[in-house]
Chains A and B, each alone.
Chain A
Amino acid sequence: MESLTLSDVEQKYYSELFVYCDTDNTKKVASNGRVLDLFRAAQLPSEVVLQITELCGATRLGHFGRSQFYIALKLIAIAQSGLPLRVESLNSVKDLPLPRFVVGKNEAEARHAALYQDADSQGLYPAPGTALIPRPPGRGHQNKKDVSDLLPYDSQPEPTSPVISPHQSPPTSPHSWRKHKRQHSGGNADRQQVVAATGAVWTQFREPQTGDVTGDGMWSSHSPPPPLPPSQESWVSFTADTPPSSTLPAMHPSSVQESTTIRTVASAATTNEIQRQSSGYDDPWKITDEQRQYYINQFKTIQPDLTGLIPGSAAKEFFTKSKLPILELSHIWELSDFDKDGALTLDEFCAAFHLVVARKNGYDLPEKLPESLMPKLIDLDDSAEVPEPADEVGYSASPVEVTPNKSPSMPSLNQAWPEMNQSNEDTAIVHPVPIRMTPSKIHMQEMELKRTGSDHNHPTSPLLAKPPELSEETKLPPSMKFVAANTVGDGYSSSDSFTSDQEPITRQRSQSGASPDALKAVAPPPPPPRPQQSHSRSSSLDMNRTFAAPAAPGQPQPSAIAFPPAVPPRPLPTQGVPAGGAGLTTTSPQQIPQQPNFADFSQFQAFAASEQPSSLPDIDKHSEAGQVHKISEGAGPLRAVKSDGPADERTSATVNSAKGSSGPLAPPPKPVRRRLKSEDELRPEDEQIGPQKAGAIAAPLTSQPSIPRSIGKDKKAIQASIRRNKETNTVLARLNSELQQQLKDLLEERISLEVQLEQLRPFSHL
């Protein structure tokens, strides 16, 4: 058997343990059962224990003699400090910490702890409160220093904080305090006392350490006394199995019983501690003052500003050092990050730290954040947990006093808004206004709307609000206009989409009072741009063809200026209409802000009156405004012709009004046609429309009277104009038929597309 030299401390300790194990009172042999229990309490892996027993020779002997026992204990100490198990190391390793045993050795430990307290405390620490603190560390303090060399911890300037990692801190902080006191002679005796008491409390919390001392050292890397823990561990052998409260009183009474004077003091301290602890047990999550102070100091190491935030990454690093499993750390984070901002305020940090400490000591994590750990803010949580009125913590540092539920974070917020808008509008779409199409279509359009989201919202509802979209059509029949624009915006949607759209649209529609008419007007134009283009092409071509020649003699300049579709209208006025231009020009200021339809209108007016060539300039102005003009103008003449045809006998006023009503430009041909069909209805609509129209109407009207005069004056001229009108009429009729044909084609196309859509989306109706 190798000879073994033990220090005094070790000698005492080991003999104590031997006595403890010597249940048979043989004074020679420690009972195997006890020994094995003791070894198990050392928290070493079983193979290490086996190795130890082998090395010490017990397996050889079959029992633990005193020497074997001592050797085994020494080997345990070696193993616990992380050194390889070597027989040679028995004697070579100097200043080895005492082996630690955690479970069930309360009395023994308490007893010899008391012994050590007697031995050391007096010598080193006058403060009575510190009596509780493991004394052996005092002795072994130097040892620890050496051992600390083995520990890879980030050196942190000692004076900064007497604070140590949580699970060690409570026990070690007293040490650090003591050390601090010794070395710096600073020391707050009171603090020490308090801290010491706390240390006692915490030591009892100590969960069986699975990690070895080095591990602990690493965790406490930010604190100076990593050396302390080992020594402490040796003393701290309170069971963490039993509830701390029970152990605490159990331990203390036992220790108290064996008291010396120091003991009594210690017991006093412990009783205080017990009281505090018991009150703590009413609320096991309560953070004591010293704990809080410790946490605050730790917070400072990461974030000097106590009102600031610790970013998530820094907190992650910090808490990862605690060696808790990531899952638990994640759960702790969820509990403690109250405002869900990815950062920790001081309160949140303290709560998290406290939870880590508790978890390390064997407490299970709660499902919800305990009240006492709630950040000291106005708690908007619907769980209605009242924030504890913390005394010292005025740290309403947490910047966000937001309901955790409510606004979790920006991304969710941001995306919540459009969603809400969507949903609002979805809910707003209660019943489409006059829907003439089949429900499926409505649904399809709704789906379309939902899919494209706000895009639809824009074109649809704000249509009225967004005249600019429709290029100048601000005033004139907005309903008409935006109907057209809607169709422009949405390839699929027919008028139904608008009807089934959000309320504003329906409202607008109703405003326009265009019930059937508007709808009719709305219904036709599928993809306005498409037909427009084709139309423009065709119409322009047609018009060009038809009107190029007549236009030539007329006023070429307007035609030149106007875009192809605009051509047709121009020739018309040129063909026949002398100047009602005066009237037109007077109205032009009104017209210009208004839709180009007015231009058409006036054109037709002039046209009909065959006296208003000046309409062309007006047309020009309008047409220059936008593409839509062309089409509308193209439509205008159409309209005019049509209206002229059937309504020759009618007063030009009515014709004018009809034209005026045919405001919408967008798919001019189609709406125009519609309007033509429903002139009569449109007329009353027009009358509702507005003063401008009235004005516009008035203008032509005023020009009308001039006609009779001119007629009266120049019958021949009139007859010539009639002839021209008739020619224009035929041309326009042809154009009309062609456009009708196109319309039919497009409608068919649209229907087929819709059918396809239905097939692709069978689930459109919900």
Chain B
Amino acid sequence: MAVCIAVIAKENYPLYIRSVPSQNELKFHYTVHTSLDVVEEKVSAVGKSLADQRELYLGLLYPTEDYKVYGYVTNSKVKFVIVVDSSNTSLRDNEIRSMFRKLHNSFTDVMCNPFYNPGDPIQSKAFNGIVSGMMVQTG
């Protein structure tokens, strides 16, 4: 389960960021921010030649001693970042992918809402519900 989930807009400001509250939230904010660089690097590395079939799932961005950071980019350059606890070793790549897929789906639903202006912070309850479902249950 994720420890922190963030949605970053195309202009690299956060649309939604939520972490397991028991831990230091600021640390996660910082982690997500630094992961943006890695995302950029990955995106630019792949994007030039294969713009059509660029992989949306970026995989593990970088690991630290405590946790691992996974990234995912949509075609509209909206980035999803999931921070997972390193101790949770059983998380397979597929599970991370499915988490991203769910995130993307519910993000699309938020976008479809005509009352949502792109660029606003995401305040959808449905989206929150999905994210809660993915967060670490404890704390």
Of A203-211, A228-236, A449-457, which stretch is located at the interface?
Answer: A449-457
Of B6-14, B20-28, B58-66, B131-139, which stretch is located at the interface?
Answer: B58-66
In whole Å, how far is A94's beta carbon from the nearest beta carbon of chain B?
41
Known: A329-B115, A419-B97, A763-B62. A453 touches B105 (CB 8 A): no
| CB–CB A334/B101 < 8 A | no
In whole Å, how far is B49's beta carbon from the nearest beta carbon of chain A?
9
Q: Which of A330, A342, A408, A452 lies in contact with B55, CB distance below 8 A?
A: A452
| CB–CB A331/B124 < 8 A | yes
B18-64 residues at the A interface, CB under 8 angstroms: 42, 46, 50, 53-57, 59-60, 62-63
| CB–CB B109/A450 < 8 A | no
Fill in one digit per residue for A401-424: 1 if any B CB lies within 8 Å of its CB, else 0.
Answer: 000010011011001101100110
Residue on B with the closest CB to A457? B53
Known: A312-B114, A330-B124. A422 touches B75 (CB 8 A): no
| CB–CB B53/A367 < 8 A | no
Residue on B with the closest CB to A333? B113
| A341 at the B interface (CB under 8 A) | yes
| CB–CB B105/A341 < 8 A | no
| CB–CB B114/A315 < 8 A | yes
| CB–CB B115/A330 < 8 A | yes
A-B contact count (CB 8 A): 101
Q: Which of A313, A367, A454 lies in contact with B114, CB distance below 8 A?
A: A313
| CB–CB B53/A455 < 8 A | yes
In whole Å, how far is A762's beta carbon from the nearest beta carbon of chain B?
8
Q: Across the interface, which residues of A come within 8 angstroms of B54, CB to CB?
A: 453
| A340 at the B interface (CB under 8 A) | yes
| B104 at the A interface (CB under 8 A) | yes
Q: Across the interface, which residues of A come within 8 angstroms of B126, CB to CB?
A: 334
Q: Which of A326, A330, A342, A419 lies in contact with B57, CB distance below 8 A?
A: A419
Known: A334-B124, A334-B126, A426-B93. A419 touches B109 (CB 8 A): no
| A337 at the B interface (CB under 8 A) | yes
Q: Please report whether the interface of chain A is mostly helix, strand, loop or mixed according to DSSP.
A: helix
Interface residues on chain B, size class: 35 or more
Q: Across the interface, which residues of A come within 8 angstroms of B87, CB to CB?
A: none
In whole Å, how far is B135's beta carbon from the nearest beta carbon of chain A?
18
Known: A334-B126, A412-B104, A455-B53. A763 touches B46 (CB 8 A): no
| A321 at the B interface (CB under 8 A) | no
Q: Which of B94, B105, B106, B113 lies in contact with A330, CB distance below 8 A?
A: B113
| A28 at the B interface (CB under 8 A) | no
Q: Across the interface, which residues of B come within 8 angstroms of A427, CB to CB?
A: 94
| CB–CB B115/A418 < 8 A | no
Q: Which of A330, A334, A409, A453 lies in contact with B108, CB distance below 8 A?
A: A409
| A6 at the B interface (CB under 8 A) | no
| B123 at the A interface (CB under 8 A) | yes
In whole Å, how far is A283's beta carbon from the nearest beta carbon of chain B?
22
| CB–CB A411/B115 < 8 A | no
Known: A334-B125, A342-B114, A415-B74. A452 touches B109 (CB 8 A): no
| CB–CB A451/B46 < 8 A | yes
A758–B127 Cα gap in the complex (Å)?
Answer: 38
Best-buried of A312, A412, A416 by chain B (most CB within 10 Å): A412
| A316 at the B interface (CB under 8 A) | yes
Q: Across the interface, which residues of B come within 8 angstroms of A763, CB to CB?
A: 60, 62-63, 68
A312–B125 Cα gap in the complex (Å)?
Answer: 19
| CB–CB A341/B74 < 8 A | no
| CB–CB A450/B59 < 8 A | yes
Return the 3 tightest CB-CB contacts between A and B, nearest first. A312-B114, A316-B114, A330-B115
Residues of A whose CB lies within 8 Å of any CB of B are 312-313, 315-316, 319, 326-327, 329-331, 333-334, 337, 340-342, 367, 405, 408-409, 411-412, 415-416, 418-419, 422-423, 426-427, 447, 450-455, 763, 766
8 additional A-B residue pairs with CB within 8 Å, beyond A326-B115, A331-B125, A451-B55: A313-B114, A330-B115, A409-B109, A418-B56, A419-B97, A426-B94, A453-B53, A455-B53
Residues of B whose CB lies within 8 Å of any CB of A are 42, 46, 50, 53-57, 59-60, 62-63, 68, 74-75, 93-94, 97-98, 100-101, 104-106, 108-109, 112-116, 123-126
11 A-B contact pairs sorted by A residue (CB < 8 Å): A316-B114, A331-B124, A337-B112, A340-B112, A341-B112, A408-B105, A415-B74, A418-B53, A418-B56, A763-B63, A763-B68
